[in-house]
Structure 1
Amino acid sequence: MTDTNPQAAFWNSDAGHAWVDNQAMLDHMFQPFEALLADAVRRGEHVLDVGCGTGATTLAAARRAGAASHATGIDISAPMIATARIRAAQAGLAASFVCADAQHYPFEAAGFDAIVSRFGVMFFADPVAAFANLRRATRAAGRLHLYAWRGADENPFMTAAERAAAPLVTLPPRLPGQPGQFAFADAAFVRATLQAAGWHDIGIDAVDVPCAFPAAGLDAYVGRMGPLGRVLPTLDAARRQAVLAGVRRAFDPFVQGETVRYTAACWRITARAHVIRG
């Protein structure tokens, strides 16, 4: 992990600390995916959670797989991995965490029964190389079970802040074909990537998942997360407050009483490491 990797530099900057600081709110928001991924894990399995962040899905996998198993989380963000390790120790679960890039990490060959990920696989510099590395780390009957965002136009909550802020400040652009939140928006690209990496029985299904979190956490979400969160610290206090006030109004349609609600438009991506016959 070096500063020559833009993703490493980004997720070890304030972006990574923002996820740590907002861990409880984000875990609440994405709890439906935690449950969906836990359901994909079987008792006794060894599981790898890619882009594990602060560890919620890894710990859920560890609980589901049971004491005779092990769950490993890998993420490029040192602050998030540090938090995940603390959470695992506090929970007393059979989970461990690696701070590294899963594209290059020398996993033990055929060491995992299942690979899961909650929005953690869209950031590889070379997705084919990354998924080939993950396939080598998976046993012959091993499975892939991932969730990734569909397009920005299908996820108005995820893009509300940048749309509202665009007339007010210059935001870092989302570049087509580059690693990022919506890098897997094109299902054909995802399928071609997995095929080139040697995966089989690929399934890519559109799923719409209801998400919610307490409205008390909305200001922190708006001010710290996403492209706007990168820009706000560069503004003087008066302008920062003006931008936040303008952007905050864009989220009013998603607020229902004391709760923020939206639909996450995603792909459920499944595959097998090898062809299963018979």
Structure 2
Amino acid sequence: MAGVLRADPSNADQAAAWDGQEGSYWAEHADRFDRAVRAYREGFLAAADVSAADRVLDIGCGTGETTRDLARQASRGRVLGVDLSAAMLRVARRRAAAEALSNAEFVQADAQIHAFPAAAFDVAVSRAGTMFFADPVAAFRNIGGALRPGGRLVQSVWQPLADNEWFLALTGALALGRPMPTPAVDAPGPFSLSDPARVRTVLGAAGFTDVRLDPRSGSMWFGEDAADAERFTLGMLGWMLDGLDEQDRRRAVDDLRATLAAHESDSGVLYASAAWIIRAARP
């Protein structure tokens, strides 16, 4: 069902981005973003271990690929996908309807504060959607309240920046030697849950137990060839060229082209990446 987004004030910037231009770009390129992380799909679904009657909550569901995967598995259950982005949810609803997945539902919501029904789900999952909470303890506590006693949380997040070549190479090229601000590990961002000690502290404070981190690695796909990957990457990271004069913009794009060309393969433009699959239990 559709709704009006109510976000925690601390998540205002994230809400503005994901329910704005950034979310619209992801919606427009849904297939490309799904393909980018395809190497992790099978392992994540296996870790989620959803059964036919399970009730599943998908946090940060985006355009709904994982929600649809799990709805097929939970054929006698149901899956609720929540996300900040209205544009991505429109894609998710359309694709679920095209597959006649009547047990998949989508709500625009900030999972940090949304009033989920208590103890209504057996499993909560998130594919790279939990790293952007301003107050992760509050968010995971809220998600935990939606799980039945003995329910499970399964999420994928990135390992530390140093283990993710894709981020270092692409942002490094466009930075053109400029120092780029590195988000603190305790601030919202793609690497906010990359430190295992912090993950255990946050989830423990939110009331979860039996926290386990399973390292995974795979190739991130960015395009069929360097030219294709350049268009896609600049659509995501073109803001990094702001403030550069025309000459420096050309140099930065040339540097991007060089790294993309160096990573071309028969399977497309590929970069190394590393993620954690995190499992935890609600007592």
Q: TM-score, normalised by structure 1?
A: 0.89
Tell me which residue corresponds to 2:232: 221
* CA–CA separation in structure 2 for the residues paired with 1:169 and 1:77: 31
How far residue 244 of structure 1 moved from its aligned partner, in angstroms, is 2.4
**Percent of residue pairs identical:** 37
How far residue 166 of structure 1 moved from its aligned partner, in angstroms, is 1.5
**1:13 paired residue among 20, 24, 27:** 20
Tell me which residue corresponds to 2:123: 114
* CA–CA separation in structure 2 for the residues paired with 1:158 and 1:70: 35
In the TM superposition, what whole-angstrom CA distance separates every residue of 1:177-229 from its partner, at most 9, and x where no partner exists?
2100011111100000000000111111222134445424412331122xx33
For the residue of structure 2 that corresponds to 1:101, the secondary structure is coil
For 1:116-265, what aligned pairs fall within 5 Å after superposition? 116-167=125-176, 173-212=182-221, 214-216=223-225, 217-225=228-236, 228-232=237-241, 240=249, 242-265=251-274
* CA–CA separation in structure 1 for the residues paired with 2:180 and 2:107: 32
For the residue of structure 1 that corresponds to 2:42, the secondary structure is helix
2:230 aligned partner, one-letter code? D
For the residue of structure 2 that corresponds to 1:19, the secondary structure is helix
Given the alignment of the two structures, is residue 92 of structure 1 paired with residue 103 of structure 2, yes or no? Answer: no
Change (3 A) 1:164 1:212: closer
* CA–CA separation in structure 2 for the residues paired with 1:193 and 1:244: 39
In the TM superposition, what whole-angstrom CA distance separates every residue of 1:83-115 from its partner, at most 9, and x where no partner exists?
111111111112111111101000000111111
How far residue 245 of structure 1 moved from its aligned partner, in angstroms, is 2.8
In structure 2, the gaps of 5 or more residues are 1-5
- Residue pair 1:76, 1:99 contacting (<8 A) in 2 also: yes
Query: How many residues end up aligned between the 2 structures?
Result: 271
Root-mean-square deviation over aligned CA pairs: 2.3
**1:78 paired residue among 76, 86, 92:** 86
Q: TM-score, normalised by structure 2?
A: 0.87
For the residue of structure 2 that corresponds to 1:92, the secondary structure is coil
- Residue pair 1:223, 1:232 contacting (<8 A) in 2 also: no
Tell me which residue corresponds to 1:69: 77
2:81 aligned partner, one-letter code? G
In the TM superposition, what whole-angstrom CA distance separates every residue of 1:32-61 from its partner, at most 9, and x where no partner exists?
333233322111111111111111111111
Change (3 A) 1:230 1:174: farther
Tell me which residue corresponds to 2:278: 269
- Residue pair 1:165, 1:247 contacting (<8 A) in 2 also: yes
* CA–CA separation in structure 1 for the residues paired with 2:100 and 2:244: 43
For 1:30-49, what aligned pairs fall within 5 Å after superposition? 30-39=37-46, 40=48, 41-49=50-58
